[in-house]
Amino acid sequence: MKRLAILGGGYGGLRILLDLLEKQLPEDIEITIIDRNPYHSVKTEFYTIAAGTSAERDVRMDFPQDERVRYVYGEIQQIDTSNEQIHLTGHDPVPYDYLVIALGCEDNYHGVPGAAEFTESVQTFRRVRHTGMAVGNLPAYGKVTIVGAGLSGIEVAAEIRESRSDLNIRVLDRGATVLKAFDPKIQEHVTDWFRSNDVDVFHNSSVEYVEHGGVCNNGVCYINDVTIWTAGVQPNQLARDLPFEKDNQDKIVVNDYFQVPAQKNVYIVGDCASSVHSPSGQLAGQQGEQIAEVLLAVLTGGRPKRPKEIKLKGTLGSLGKTDGFGNMMQKPVTGYLPRMLKSGVLWLNKRH
């Protein structure tokens, strides 16, 4: 029996599983998925949980039931690559012959004092539920600060505005414009949307510290009720702790087959894997497809084909439920159309 363990049933892990199940797998392969949650989290929609505009059921999906797959639910504590086993709470260690690490990312607080203790997060289901409660329980005209104006910060701020017109919402943006990786047309559209929807954006911000009831930026301290951190991510701590080579963002370096060069039975996907591309669900999914092909060849005793270069299709973002932005056919597009397209892509992904 060959034992394949997949750690994390998110965008990368689930894609590998689904693709493997579609193939004619040899009978002597046992697949184990380990995740803290007994469902797949649609993380790209977590901003709706933070704003209270989605039911939780709409942002998670059941894992596929298949006799070739065993699910183990628990909090992974350690990946022991020397003895090839996984330690997790409430369960015996899970041994493996082949391993996929698909554990995603967590907040990077960049050493800002108080950020870990006093900010809300959108990075895990447990923490984004807490964020949604904190925002939802605010009294009239409560104050919300979002630190970071990348894709997730923008979506969180816009969705909260649409959900609660009374709240005072402030975005602290390190850059000179929002969404620094996007086209100027998109940056302008988002800036206009925030202006006309009464969301304050402070550019060139440098948050010095966060405390209970306040956030201090560029020497000015604001009284604030809820601070949401969207100012950076880093690979999951379990991946960062592994004795493998990392890049300058602490992501694990892999070869062309997504294998760890020092232990080729270990594969890394998504936010934990070093890549020329920025981390995204789309990237994790495409890497997952390629890893499934490689694994299938390896597990059936063949030679894997070298995966092709990854070509991403561009990013779609939302400004509430009826406005958005994104790249279509390499062109920046704003307004209703990209927003509808984003909903359509989500619907298709869920159906698949």
Ligand X SMILES: Cc1cc2nc3c(=O)[nH]c(=O)nc-3n(C[C@H](O)[C@H](O)[C@H](O)COP(=O)(O)OP(=O)(O)OC[C@H]3O[C@@H](n4cnc5c(N)ncnc54)[C@H](O)[C@@H]3O)c2cc1C
CA atoms within a 13 Å half-sphere pointing along the CA-CB vector of 267: 31
How do 2-7 and 29-35 pair as beta strands? parallel
Contact criterion met (CB below 8 Å) for 192 and 177:
no
Is residue 79 at the binding interface for ligand X, with CB under 6 A as the rule?
Answer: no
CA distance 232 to 206: 13
Q: How many whole angstroms separate alpha carbon 209 and alpha carbon 98?
A: 43
Q: Which among 21-29, 184-192, 275-283, 332-340 is the span making contact with ligand X, rule CB under 6 A?
A: 275-283
Over the range 47-86, which residues count as b (16 or more CB within 10 Å of their CB) and which as e?
bbbbbbbbeeeebbeebeeeeebeebbeebeebebeebbb
Report the site for ligand X in 8-27 (rule: CB under 6 A).
Answer: 8-13
Residues counted in the chain: 352
Q: Which of 114, 150, 281, 320 binds ligand X (CB under 6 A)?
A: 281
CB of 185: closest distance to ligand X in angstroms?
A: 18
Beta carbon of residue 219, minimum distance to ligand X (angstroms, whole number): 29
Residues 40-69 that bind ligand X (CB under 6 A): 41, 43-44, 46-47
CA distance 12 to 6: 10
Residue 37 in the binding site for ligand X (CB under 6 A):
yes
Q: Report the alpha-carbon distance of residue 320 to residue 322 in Å, rounded.
A: 6
| CB closer to ligand X out of 216 and 342 | 342
Chain residues 121-160 in contact with ligand X, contact rule CB under 6 A: 122-123, 151-152, 155
Q: In the bound complex, what is the minimum distance in angstroms from residue 23's beta carbon to ligand X?
A: 20
Q: Quote the tokens at residue 61.
A: 């999906």
Rule CB under 6 A: choose which of 16, 76, 112, 149 binds ligand X. 76
- Footprint of ligand X on residues 234-253 (CB under 6 A)? 236, 238
Positions in 297-316 near ligand X (CB under 6 A): 315
By CB under 6 A, name the binding residues for ligand X: 8-13, 35-37, 41, 43-44, 46-47, 75-76, 102-104, 122-123, 151-152, 155, 236, 238, 270-271, 279-282, 284, 315
